[in-house]
Amino acid sequence: MSLRREFDCGSSGEKRRMTRAAKPEPQRCHWAQKPLMAEYHDQEWGRPVHDDRMLFEFVILEGAQAGLSWETILNKRENYRRAFDNFDAAKIARYDGHKVRKLLADAGIVRNRLKISATISNAQAFLAVQKEFGTFDKYIWQFVGGRAKKHDWSNSRGIPARTSESDAMSKDLKRRGFRFVGTTICYAFMQAVGMVNDHAPDCFRYKPTA
């Protein structure tokens, strides 16, 4: 498909017909068709993340997704950053009852008392992991041996909801006091932060995940 546009040549009064070929849409994983999902897929999903603040953001957002769609959470992402001090774990760990009531009244986020409470306790557990390991990054990437795992599923519809690695991660996170970290949530987290590459083989992001 191409876009055809006509341009006046100025003083000559002649018209030239110029054909510009529209840039074709790249082949993406089946779930990344809507604009917001496509942008997230192209720019973030599957790219290795080693920044502690960003890793904590994904821990919280993946937990917030429980029972909802990821698109719903992406639509609220900027509201979450505003409401939760840009995912500053040290600040969130000190939230009190007044702050919780304020969050429960915030229509820009998922107003679920258990999820909000879990965000606070997860921040406290996150800080404890940082203290023990130096960084959360060092701790969390050990579940894939420090390197991203590249899967070779025939298509993105055949990707599993959990793996032995996500089982181990979930078990250890729960032991450390984290909540909303079931194995399926952990696997979604692993996909998001690039611990596994689950782009479909025909997806243009299948190889360039670094």
* CA-wise closest residue to 191 among 70, 64, 34: 70
- Mean of pLDDT over the chain: 88
Concatenated DSSP letters for 66-121?
A: TTS-HHHHHHHHHHHHHHTGGG-HHHHTT--HHHHHHHHT-TTS---HHHHHHHHH
Q: Which residue has the higher pLDDT, 18 or 198?
A: 198
- Is residue 181 within 8 A of residue 175, CB to CB? The reply is no
Q: Report the pLDDT averaged over residues 27-35.
A: 93
pTM of the model: 0.85
pLDDT band at 210 (very low <50, low <70, confident <90, very high): low
What are the φ and ψ backbone dihedral angles of 150, each rounded to 5 degrees? -105, 115
Tell me, what's the pLDDT at 196?
Answer: 94
Pairing of strands 196-197, 149-150: parallel
Exposed, middle or buried, 38 (CB in 10 Å: 0-12/13-18/19+)? middle
Alpha helices, H only, 108-193: 113-133, 136-140, 164-175, 183-192
In the structure, what pLDDT confidence band is assigned to residue 208 with cuts at 50, 70 and 90?
Answer: low
Coil, strand or helix at 189: helix
Instruction: Supply the residues annotated as catalytic.
Output: 40, 62, 70
- Pair of tokens at residue 149: 């795992």
Q: What is the pLDDT of residue 25?
A: 83
Q: In this structure, what token pair is assigned to residue 207? A: 């190889």
